[in-house]
Amino acid sequence: MGLSTQQPRTQAAQLFRGYTAYTLGFIALVALLAALEVLGLARQWIGYAFLLSTVALYAGIGIMCRTSDPVEYYVAGRRVPALYNGMATAADWMSVASFIGIAGTLYLTGYNGLAYILGWTGGYVLVALFLAPYLRKFGGYTIPDFLGARYEGNLTRLIGVLCAVLCSFIYLVAQIYGVGIITTRMTGISFELGIFIGLGGVLVCSFLGGMRAVTWTQVGQYIILVIAYLVPVVWLAVKQTGEPIPQVAASAVLQQVTERERELTHDEAERQVRALWQKRAELMQARVDSLPLSFEEEKQQLHWRLLRARANDAPMAEIRALEREHANYPQSIEAARTAWTKARDDFGSRASPPVPHADPFAGKNRDSPEAARNNFLAIVLCLMLGTAGLPHILMRSLTTPSVSEARKSVFWSLLFILLLYMTAPALAILIKYEIYSDLVGIPFAELPAWVNAWSAVDRSLISIVDLNRDGIVQLAEVQLGADVVVLAAPEIGGLPYVISGLVAAGALAAALSTADGLLLTLSNALSHDTLFRVVSPRMGAGRQVILSKMLLLVVAFAAAWAATRTPADILFLVGAAFSFAAACFFPVLVMGVFWKRANKYGAAAGMLSGLIVTIYYMVQAQPWLRELVLGIPIGVPVELWWHIQPIAAGVFGAPVAFVVIVLVSWATPAPLAVTQQMVDYLRQPD
């Protein structure tokens, strides 16, 4: 695969044959496991089989593509056809958050969740119009390479390295954390072991073959992840409506979902449960208000209740619950304030009626629709700019054979991404329909098996409590975590367990492919851009590649170490990476091509000021980060600018960067004639 240096036509035919065989082989593997499941193979073994066989497949492709030639190692020899480059970009792009998180977010937030879909796809328009063709025309190895050449020198290159490391490392930690979670759920092995098995698969690939191995593995990973995503959704669509196209099925079901939401809003039992939640929220508010006095009081009361329950031989489950509560009691008054404020908000949101799925900006929180709209638009813009600035995505335009292929490759990337992103809104609606019609209103004794199975894995995935003790499930008693929508979809649709394994394998592919691309970006930024270009420019090509590989190992282990320390908030981390990319890279890259007068001083000042504004907004608007950096307790209300959440901090950083680039460039001398000629060269056809 991809090993030949023959004519493009025979190469394309060879690639097509290779990947067709690969796809058929994978389908045969799934069929074999399905047959074994019927014969009685244990669920855990199906998980092991998927984990080991897919990681071995990726490692195998990596070994086949091993190389130590710099052009092969950094940019896959620049002969990846647009179609395959598109597939690899799609896999590179779709992280574990896209695969598992997005349908769940849409389930929970309805229209508001579409901001992510809109932002993450619209960014490709910017990539195609402003960046991909020119970066390919320039033809370096990395994005800091371009900055160093266009902005004359090492200052901008080093700032570029700093930003690339910042956003890629944050993103990588989130991916590796995802790998750990999936392997644990798939097979039951420990989180740390899961991380190291996954990391092994990533490393064999990128360590041996660099960009070349990563590209051809990503194509394989894309095939697996798209099969894994579409199979359960199509099944669910056929089961509910007889229509195989999920979007058509969802449009048929949406009407019923909306109607049911209206019914549930006025239902007597639902209102009763919501009133109970409201009472709990008020109790929590009272507790928060009477801090610090209530801290000791509540502790004493809990202690007494536990003693009394033990003395009265209360049911085991009740004693267990009290013991757990006692063990998890907040350590300090400040911790209690944080925990109780959060509990108050949770109860409060469960006390409100369901939000109509397709209604724009109708949130459960108390924000006005205008505030929700501002926030929606800000997230869309920030994700678009971030998409067009993430170095591991931009790097992919360097691997195509020509400028024309680079433009086409963006088209194919978006097409392959849309296969999944257009299915997610449909999946969310289909699952909602299933929950409303098959779960709400049934007796607790008849709960479907998947509910118990997934709540045993993790109570945050799904929990149902009979709050009003009527023995019937009310919607307000059900709490779903975002991840369960994709993870449990096969079981909700009544598919065999082998499909659940397939979904987990798909999620693993999504996490590993993104981790691959990020690792390579990071190690190249550190070795090629820092050590080779800045520290010792006379290093030989062979040594450069070896050094890159060494740094790859170091970065991989550093990220794994960071992931085992369980970062606070995965979604926020990913959002932060996009904000940094939007503020650091997008303005400076676009200005580099489209404004000849932009010089190195403007570029350096623009990147730094964009970064600083973004970090400042994040720190002052994200409560836990603010506590970490400034020491202000979490309970103090935050001050948002125009109601924009900290996840979209890049919308402030990027315009500041543009303005600073223009002002500083005007105040300082114009770039050298050579540089201006280079810009002219970039603007001309091949």
Asked if 48 interacts with another protein (CB under 8 A), we say no
Q: What minimum distance in Å lies between the beta carbon of 251 and another protein? A: 4
Q: How many residues bind another protein (CB under 8 A)?
A: 46
Per CB under 8 A, the segment of 267-275, 313-321, 354-362, 474-482 that binds another protein is 354-362
Per CB under 8 A, the segment of 302-310, 352-360, 566-574, 648-656 that binds another protein is 352-360
Q: Is 437 exposed, middle or buried (0-12, 13-18, 19+ CB in 10 A)?
A: middle
Among positions 254, 385, 485, 651, the unique one binding another protein when judged by CB under 8 A? 254
Per CB under 8 A, the segment of 224-232, 332-340, 411-419, 576-584 that binds another protein is 411-419
Beta strands in 595-680 (DSSP E): none
Per CB under 8 A, the segment of 272-280, 406-414, 440-448, 483-491 that binds another protein is 406-414
Asked if 208 interacts with another protein (CB under 8 A), we say no
Written as one string, the DSSP assignment of 548-583 is HHHHHHHHHHHHHHHHHT--S-HHHHHHHHHHHHHH
Q: What minimum distance in Å lies between the beta carbon of 212 and another protein? A: 25
Among positions 411, 479, 564, 635, the unique one binding another protein when judged by CB under 8 A? 411
| Spatial separation of the C-alpha atoms in residues 436 and 672, rounded to whole Å | 66
Among positions 96, 97, 371, 414, the unique one binding another protein when judged by CB under 8 A? 414
Which of residues 199 and 410 has its CB atom nearest to another protein in the complex? 410
Q: Is 488 helix (H, G, I), strand (E, B) or coil?
A: coil
Which of residues 124 and 277 has its CB atom nearest to another protein in the complex? 124
For residues 129-168, which are near another protein according to CB under 8 A? 129-130, 133
Count other C-beta atoms under 10 Å from residue 286's C-beta.
12
Q: What is the pattern of x (binds another protein, CB under 8 A) and - over residues 97-116?
A: --------------x--xx-
Tokens 């504004």 sit on residue: 613
Count other C-beta atoms under 10 Å from residue 266's C-beta.
9
Nearest to 469 by CA among 276, 267, 281, 317: 276
Which of residues 22 and 361 has its CB atom nearest to another protein in the complex? 361
Q: What is the dihedral of CA 219, 222, 224, 226, to 10 degrees?
A: -150
Which of residues 378 and 576 has its CB atom nearest to another protein in the complex? 378
Among positions 74, 99, 124, 578, the unique one binding another protein when judged by CB under 8 A? 124
Asked if 358 interacts with another protein (CB under 8 A), we say yes
Per CB under 8 A, the segment of 25-33, 228-236, 341-349, 678-686 that binds another protein is 678-686
Q: Are 198 and 512 in contact (CB under 8 A)?
A: yes
Q: Are 459 and 254 in contact (CB under 8 A)?
A: no
Asked if 255 interacts with another protein (CB under 8 A), we say yes
H-run or E-run covering 325: helix 316-327
| Spatial separation of the C-alpha atoms in residues 82 and 614, rounded to whole Å | 34
Helix 114-126 and helix 369-387, axial crossing angle in degrees, nearest 10: 40
| Spatial separation of the C-alpha atoms in residues 628 and 580, rounded to whole Å | 19
Q: What is the pattern of x (binds another protein, CB under 8 A) and - over residues 362-401?
A: -------x---x--xx--xx--x-----------------
Nearest to 59 by CA among 170, 157, 205: 205
Which of residues 247 and 463 has its CB atom nearest to another protein in the complex? 247
- Checking DSSP bridges between strand 478-480 and strand 462-464, what pairing results, if any? antiparallel
Q: Are 592 and 146 in contact (CB under 8 A)?
A: yes
Among positions 41, 321, 415, 539, the unique one binding another protein when judged by CB under 8 A? 415
Count other C-beta atoms under 10 Å from residue 578's C-beta.
28
Q: What minimum distance in Å lies between the beta carbon of 202 and another protein? A: 30
* Binding residues for another protein (CB under 8 A): 111, 114-115, 117-118, 121-122, 124-125, 128-130, 133, 247, 251-252, 254-255, 358-361, 369, 373, 376-377, 380-381, 384, 403-404, 407-408, 410-411, 414-415, 418, 421-422, 425, 680, 683-686
